Structures are given as structure tokens and as C-alpha cells.
Structure 1
Amino acid sequence: MSRKEDYPLVSIITVNYRQAAETLKMLKTIADSGYPNLEVIVVDNGALSDKTVAYREAYPDARVIVCKRNLGFAGGNNLGIKAASGKYLYFLNNDTALTSSSIMPLVEEFEKDESLGAASPKIRYYYTPEIIQYAGFSPIHPYTGRNKAIGKNQKDNKEYDCIMPTYSTHGAAMMVSREVIEKVGMMHEGFFLYYEELDWCAAIRRAGFEIRYIGDALVYHKESASTGKQSPLKSYYMTRNRILFMKRNFALPQFILFYTYFTFTVLPKELLKNTVKARFNNLKAVVNGFLDGLWRPA
């Protein structure tokens, strides 16, 4: 029988933002993974009170970092990185649920290939568990700033039970090696919320590492539990950070073409859609995100 020490240490890092009930549910699923050598780090971001006792009831060995400031997704995960000891760091949204294949297939792929820098499992929707959310990402188009989630909203018929290169991991569930973080650095905290993993993956590729989708691994995701599917907060950061990502990762001529497209195609469409649906707070958030994305330094 293999010993715990025979397996590389994996640090699970999850960030909670005033969604303790969701985080507790997620922690209780960690045992389902069956992986024998784990450390679990909960970053309680923008905490109003210390819920360490509750988290440890759900997962007794959890290390809890209570942060009274809201540092956002990137800042919260970076706190977890600083505390982690694992050879591999597994970033999981607090609204995910683990399965018996959530960890081991990822670790096995990393152990086989030192060129692998980051990887994500197949992600299916928690409430419609046969439907895929993510089976890899296509590249970002240099002029539209758009890409596609491969397999999204398709029934899982095992077509994506494979390992393949992907443009980016998915922020809900992504494993990164410690070696990569030491070479590339942590997530860029200027994003605060959304696009951090895309930006991080761009830096990882530039450092010469590969990014893969591991279809033998599976995680379920409830999606947008913290921000809401149509919240002004999400509208603001998705708008601002799309612009910021393009500014940081594409050459100036490409960015100018992207910004022209965004200004005269995407922005009018978003303004019209939110006006027709009387989502005036979202409308304001889109405008503010557009302006802040233009002027915010990369």
C-alpha cells in the first residue's frame, strides 16, 4: 500500500467572499477526491467575522487565513500562494464540488511532463451535471478580444475525455506547479476579479511552459455564486478587464484595432441591451468599466 508521502503534496487554495455556506459545502467534498496528500487553505476575503471553527469542522486540517480587506480573486489567491507548501497548487472556486477524479489525473500529467505549467479539469455544471461548462478554451482573437469555451453547454458524451493543449485554464479549477509560480510570479492583482487566469496563462506560455486541458479529471461548478450572473459588479469587471487584458498581452497595433471594434461594436450593443432590459445599474457599470479600462495602466 502506498504511503501518503509517496504522492506529491497538493495545496488546495479557495477564496471565500462572504459565502461561507458555499465554502463549507465545497470543503466537505474534498474527501471525495481520494487524494492522500493534501493541504487545504481557505482565504476568507473581506471577512466580517472569523469562521475558522466552522471551516475546520468541514475539513479539520484546513488552514484559514482571515483577511478583513477584500483583495479580490487575484489578491486572495496570492495570499494562499504565500502560505502554500505544495509542489502543485490547485485553485478551486468556493462554489465547486470535487469528485474522485478531480485531483489525481492532473497530478499524474504534471509528474509525467516538466514542460506542463498549468492545467484544468473538465468542468460540468453542478445543477445540470451532464452538461459541460469547460473542456478547454480557444485562443483569444487579437481583434475582438473574444474566445470560446470548448464543449460549453454540450451534453457530456465522453467526446472530451482526452488531454489536449488549451489557450487557458479555467479560473474555477486550475492547477499550477510551484516551479511556474517561482519563474512567472503570482497573479496580477490589478484585475481584482475576472481575466486573472487568462493573463496568468499568457505569462506562463511566454515563460515556455504548456497549458493543458485534462479530460480525465472532473469538477462540478455552480458558477457566479459570489457576484451573480447579471450583477453590475460582474458587468464592470468583465468590461474593464477585457480591455486591460488586451492592453497587457497584445501589441499596440492589435490593441488599437481591438479598441476600435470594442468602441463601435461591443459597447453600443451592451448599452442597448441593458437599456431595453431596464438594467440601468448594469449600463452604468459597463460605461465605467469601458472608461476605466482605457485609462488604467497595464
Structure 2
Amino acid sequence: MESPLVSIITVNYKQAQVTCELLDSIAKLSYPNLEVIVVDNAQPDDDTQLYRQHFEKVVVINKTENLGFAGGNNEGIKAAQGEYVFLLNNDTEIKGGTIETLLNCFTSPSVGAVSPVIKYFDAPDTIQFAGFTEINKLTGRNELIKSRPQPTGTVLTPYFHGAAVMIPRFVIEQCGLMPEDYFLYYEELDWSRMFREAGFELKVCMDAEILHKESISTGKNSPLKVYYQTRNRIYFMKRQKGQRNTAFLLFFLLLSSPKNILSHLLKSEFKHFRAFTKGVWDALILRKTGFVRV
């Protein structure tokens, strides 16, 4: 049976040891036709030799600026040679057989992307992701599905998970690269929307799993995370078609914002308060993109 070339792409940002742990797990895979690309964001030096101690043939792309999640992955996609690309967070670890199992899910040209089930690294019996719900038109939020809808096979999902997703090259060529305006968070939701509007199905494979060390880059409740999730939630909703924008903005400004501001102030989370208000301002007024210090 033919084994198509699969390009695993991961983005590193000042976490060389975490990335090396991912490379160690990739090195244990038996799949015979892999290309592995590390995009090193905001990297003043070249850590290629370090990475090659963990995966000998790794391709390293050093970028002096921080391109963010989307920009970094896009650099890897542009350099990749594979028939399939497999975007994999650097704070994940992969199990044997995952590549083969995901490839078997592409049973039709209409399948545009497949994510595995994602479990927590520190609690490997607990599911973090087995699909998404639709974005609520009023709140601009959705939910992770945290239990298997079925024991085996694939299920449809409105959005794939950016921490781990396999995509055929021809789908990216048809739909375009990941939107870079977001920099961090919500970009894979918008990319998923682009795939669906082009007529592709998005799936989660119940038979494949990866382990995720969640939020190592930004912290579980960091001001940086608050800023980007706030700004990009608004930006995402502004980009959607239909009448949802006005209803969402009224909900956000009249209900959600006062609630969040009061919560941060009552908890004396003043950095989080500033990050939230700056996120709202940038989304509604300044429309900044890229990395922003908060």
C-alpha cells in the first residue's frame, strides 16, 4: 500500500525543550514517509542541531520575528512537500499509529480536514476535544465536546482543532492559507469556516488520539490570553456573514463586557482588566493585528 508523504508542521516560540519532547514522540513513529518542519518564531539563534538530536532529518525555519500561530504554520505549509500536512502544536505528543489512522479517514475528496481526539497530557484519561459545537450567533462562543459522541469511526465537526489537524494539500491550495489577522486564537475557527464554505467536510477521528500540554505558550489564564481571546472573538464575529454582527455587538457591549470587567476588578486582576479592555478597543476601534504586548 502506498504511503503518501505527510508533512508534520509545528511552531516553536521560546519552548525548545517542549518542542524536543514532541520530536522525541515523532521519532518513535513507524510511518515510513514523514517530513518534519519546525518553524522557530522570534528565534535569535539557530537551534537546528539541538532539534536534530531528537529528530535527525527535521527541517528548521528560523524567523527573527514572532509570526504567531497562523503565520508560523503558514510558513511551514509553504515549505512543506507533503501530499498531506499535519499541523501539530509543539506542546503535544503523538502516539504510534496516529498518522495511518488519520490518513484512513480521507475516504472521499469532500473530506477537507481531520483532527484526532485530544486528551490532556497530565490527565490522559480525560478528553479535551472530540469536536466543537457551532459558534453561538449571539454570544460569539462555542464549546469543546469533551466526550466521544461514538466509540469509533469519524464524526462531523463545524470546526477542527488547531492543535492537531491533518489536511490534504489540494484543500489548502483551493481554500487558501490560515488567516493571519488573528495572530493567536480563533484563526482555526475562521479557517474551518473557509473550508466549509468551499464545500468540504471537517471530521474528528475517534480512533486517533494525541496528548496536549494545554496553554504552555500563554498560560492558562494569562493577560495575553485574555487579550487575544477578547479581541479575536469580536473580530471573528465581525467577519461573519448575515445579521449576527449587530445582535452580537449589543450582547457583548451591554452584557458580556460589564460582567468581565467587574469580575477582573473584584478579583484584583488588574492586568487582566487592562488586557480585556485593550482587546475590546483594538477590535472595535484600532483593528490592530499581529503581536501586541499587554
TM-score of the alignment, normalized to the shorter chain, above 0.5: yes
Counterpart of 1:294? 284
Aligned to 2:272, which of 262, 266, 282?
282
Counterpart of 1:33? 29
Match runs of 1:168-247 below 5 Å: 168-247=159-238
Question: Equivalent residue of 1:129, what SS?
Answer: strand
Deviation track 1:234-292 (CA, whole Å, cap 9, x = no partner) reads 110000001111111232x2111001111122111211221122111111010011111
Distance 1:277 1:162, change over 3 A: farther
The answer to whether 1:42 aligns with 2:38 is yes
Runs of 4+ in 1 over 4 A off after TM superposition: none
Match runs of 1:1-298 below 5 Å: 6-110=2-106, 112-151=107-146, 159-251=150-242, 253-295=243-285, 296=287
Cα contact 1:202–1:249 (8 A) shared by 2? no
Alpha-carbon separation, structure 1, partners of 2:5 and 2:186: 27
Q: How well do the aligned residues superpose, as a CA RMSD in angstroms?
A: 1.5
Give the CA deviation at 1:106.
1.1
Give the CA deviation at 1:84.
0.3
- Mind listing any 5+ residue stretches in structure 2 that lack a counterpart? 290-294
Cα contact 1:14–1:42 (8 A) shared by 2? yes
Cα contact 1:73–1:192 (8 A) shared by 2? yes
Deviation track 1:40-61 (CA, whole Å, cap 9, x = no partner) reads 0000001132111001111001
Distance 1:65 1:268, change over 3 A: same
Number of aligned positions between the proteins:
288
Deviates more, 1:218-227 or 1:287-296: 287-296
Cα contact 2:18–2:91 (8 A) shared by 1? yes
Give the CA deviation at 1:161.
3.3
TM-score where L is the length of structure 2? 0.94
Deviation track 1:148-184 (CA, whole Å, cap 9, x = no partner) reads 1112xx5x7x954331100111111011111111111
Alpha-carbon separation, structure 2, partners of 1:195 and 1:119: 18
Alpha-carbon separation, structure 2, partners of 1:51 and 1:170: 28
Give the CA deviation at 1:31.
2.8
Alpha-carbon separation, structure 2, partners of 1:34 and 1:166: 29
Sequence identity percentage: 49
Alpha-carbon separation, structure 1, partners of 2:190 and 2:85: 17
Question: Equivalent residue of 1:181, what SS?
Answer: helix
Counterpart AA for 2:57:
D
